[in-house]
Amino acid sequence: MTVTPETVRQVAALARLSLGAEELAALTAQLNGILEHMEALTGVETAGAGPVAEPADGAPLREDQPGADPLAVHPAELAPDFADGFFTVPRLASHADADDGTDAAAGEAG
Amino acid sequence: MSRRPEPGVRERAAATAAGQATAARAARDVTSRIARTDRGEGGLNAFVSHDPELLAERAAGLDHEMDRSREQGRAPRLAGVPVAIKDNLCTLDLPTTCGSRMLEGFRSPYEATVVRRLREAGALIAGKTNMDEFGMGSSTETSAFGPTRNPHALDRVPGGSSGGSAAAVAAGIVPAALGSDTGGSIRQPAALCGVVGIKPTYGAVSRYGLVAFASSLDQVGVFGRTVDDAAAVLEVVAGHDPLDSTCADRPAPVLSGAVDAGADGLVVGVPEEYFPQDLDPGVRRLAEDAIEGLAREGADIRSISLPHTRLAIPTYYIIAPAEASSNLARYDGARYGFRAVADTAAAMYARTRSAGFGAEVKRRILLGTYALSAGYYDRYYGRAQGVRALIAQDFNTAFAAGVQVIFTPATPGVAFRIGERVDNPYDMYLADVFTVTANLAGIPGASVPIGTLGDLPVGGQLLADRWQEPLLVRAASAVERAVGSGAR
């Protein structure tokens, strides 16, 4: 199966990656080269294969107690921007874009 | 690179606990070795963070604690032993970068359980070591902070992604180091650098504080100059941790008795699929010599087949990138790390991730996102998980038939030149061809030096069933003895 540059662009948008034209072309070629090797899995009969491993004691639960490992510093000290107890980021879209219904976020993510 | 005899980890700890050696001296040695071998033109670049003043301060505190320990009759198991830490393990005192611009200068607000256990056992945290970005690579060339060089040949790679840790031990800067292994990232660099590397059973060592790459495959492990050195550190860091729900409720294994147990009666499986026609003839010869050595020591050598081995690389390179694409979604510039300037949040995410990640990370994120996306999930990710179960079943069948350990070459060849494989990603992926199966199956594995080709080390790999670390260590030390590679 061959992926096209348009498919790679759509996948990049899902992954919140912005690719230039040259990067897009190179990655398309590389992904196709890698996916060609993945075709070896086509047609392999996997029905009847058991689980990779059975956990002996299931998924353990911990006590519902907060602060099991307190942070050494407040998250505000790690954040690029922090105000009034919140991480702050640029606004999701400009007012002008929202007024005319343009989804500026989707356009810029590609 | 120093080849003078060095005391082992247990001997060093005992000497420090008894007052015959000091942590302060160990700290000075590490700092001077880093200055001599790691920095500047022609330096190894194994360390990305090393704070001589902090190290000296910690060492002085440790020596003071040793005085009290001696008065109380206590002997911390790793007293004064310097240990290097791969830079994807969170530390409080030094940055945690994962070899990425995305986390350049990042100071973790919490400490990895394995680092805390080392400190509590009296170890000195020598510094943070270089790695392929976010663990994605087999050469330590994808680090944003430059490649690490192989101490045996400065124009060659040390392997990856734990190349800095492997090089630091191989160069004699530290006697032991922590790494992580998702598809071979301890065993492969151990083989290329001529040191011992152990990847434990999945769930044997806490991943709390290990920055996630592929959560069903990642495991913290150890490097040492000898099997006993690596085992001594593994005994300290392994065992149940309530902070990691994937860490099994089991105590740490006791391995010291396994080191000298010998190979007499050990049933060793040799899978034909790991000795393909195109295997480097020198690697083949050294592997066969090691097998003959085990036989001379009394091991029962049996030919076996692991028929789904040929599917391991495609399986791994769907599952690992898929899990990585999910784990690395958190790096968006919002709460920590690098943030690109942008007018909108969506642009901030895209610009941050595009500028903060390197080429290999972006490639794997795209591959993983594609494999998980609607219309392709069953064809790629769903199918790969099914084949993964077949690969695990191959091992289960062999172990159920009476094989106790499996012996293979650790890598298909010796260390390649820096820059040699950067243009063809799949060629780089093939460096892991013998190691990814253990991660897919969740079983423990070790790489042990079995000789050299020219000046370049070659490693043999031992694999055992889940929770059989004592058998693994027994077999690894038997190989070490058989080939005479236990010299420090």
List A residues 30-59 in contact with B (Cβ-Cβ < 8 A).
Answer: 30-31, 33-35, 37-38, 40-42, 44, 46-47, 49-53, 55-57, 59
Rounded Cα gap, residues B316 and B371, in angstroms: 12
List the alpha helices (DSSP H) in A16-103: 21-38, 95-99
Q: Do A50 and B393 touch (CB under 8 A)?
A: yes
pLDDT value for B374: 85
pLDDT tens digit sequence for B341-386:
999 999 999 999 999 999 999 999 999 999 999 888 988 999 999 9
Range with lowest mean pLDDT among A1-5, A98-102, B70-74, B311-315: A98-102
Is the pLDDT at B185 greater than 70? The verdict is yes
Kind plus residue range of the DSSP H or E element containing B233: helix B227-237
Q: Annotated active-site positions of B, please?
A: 86, 161, 185
Asked if A76 has any chain B CB less than 8 Å from its own CB, the reply is: no
List the alpha helices (DSSP H) in A1-110: 5-14, 21-38, 95-99, 104-109
Is the pLDDT at B164 greater than 50? The verdict is yes
Is the pLDDT at B107 greater than 50? The verdict is yes
Average pLDDT value for chain B: 95
Distance from CA of B441 to the nearest CA of A (A): 6
Look at residues B440, B487, B454, B418 and name the one whose alpha carbon lies nearest to residue B142.
B418
* Contact present, B134 and B128 (Cβ < 8 Å): no
| B373 vs A contacts (CB less than 8 Å) | 11, 14
Kind plus residue range of the DSSP H or E element containing B45: none
Q: Do A17 and B362 touch (CB under 8 A)?
A: yes
Chain position carrying tokens 């400190």: B119
Half-sphere exposure of B332 (CA within 13 A, CB side): 20
Average pLDDT score over residue span B109-136:
98
Instruction: Quote the percentage of chain B above a pLDDT of 90.
Output: 90
- Find the residue in B nearest to A78 (Cα): B336
Contacts 24+ apart (CB under 8 A), A78-86: A78/B106, A78/B107, A78/B109, A78/B335, A78/B336, A79/B334, A79/B335, A79/B336, A80/B333, A80/B334, A80/B336, A80/B337, A80/B339, A81/B339
Range with lowest mean pLDDT among A31-40, B126-135, B216-225, B298-307: A31-40
